[in-house]
Chain A
Amino acid sequence: TQLLEQSPQFLSIQEGENLTVYCNSSSVFSSLQWYRQEPGEGPVLLVTVVTGGEVKKLKRLTFQFGDARKDSSLHITAAQPGDTGLYLCAGASGTYKYIFGTGTRLKVLA
């Protein structure tokens, strides 16, 4: 059974701080996605990474796919209260089929 473990599980930081969230597995994925979910809403796709070692940037968010395509990280620079939410990674085990990670709940305090 493929599992995606995220760490940390919870993170509470002050506005302006930097943070990194990790997504790890013993399985190889063909691609990996990151989502942000706010209370009462469904997850919203932030990025899809496909190639081992790939780095993508979305404003203050930097996403990296591990060289072996088993892990990924999300780095947020100068966090803002608007970044608060549940961050989920999802690995593709085939086309159109994704396994979600355990989630990291981030709270950014003003």
Chain B
Amino acid sequence: GIQVEQSPPDLILQEGANSTLRCNFSDSVNNLQWFHQNPWGQLINLFYIPSGTKQNGRLSATTVATERYSLLYISSSQTTDSGVYFCAVSRLTFGEGTQLTVNP
């Protein structure tokens, strides 16, 4: 099956900093999503982005399908951005996530 690798595994930021999270996948995909899992376990859908670039407020994402990676950008981070960020490909395979901690 498809392998999904996320980096970095852990990231600690000061409030206001910017960050980039990466998701590499081993085969071509037609379905890629980014999620934020909050401390209560809920998975929030951030982007459905099999290719191209999308933006939603302080967050944006880019998927380069031909090179098999996707990037999630968080600008001007806030403490409420803390949690685990997952990418998932083709519904079946989730990465291990990036644990983000934003300190005040």
Genuine A/B complex: no
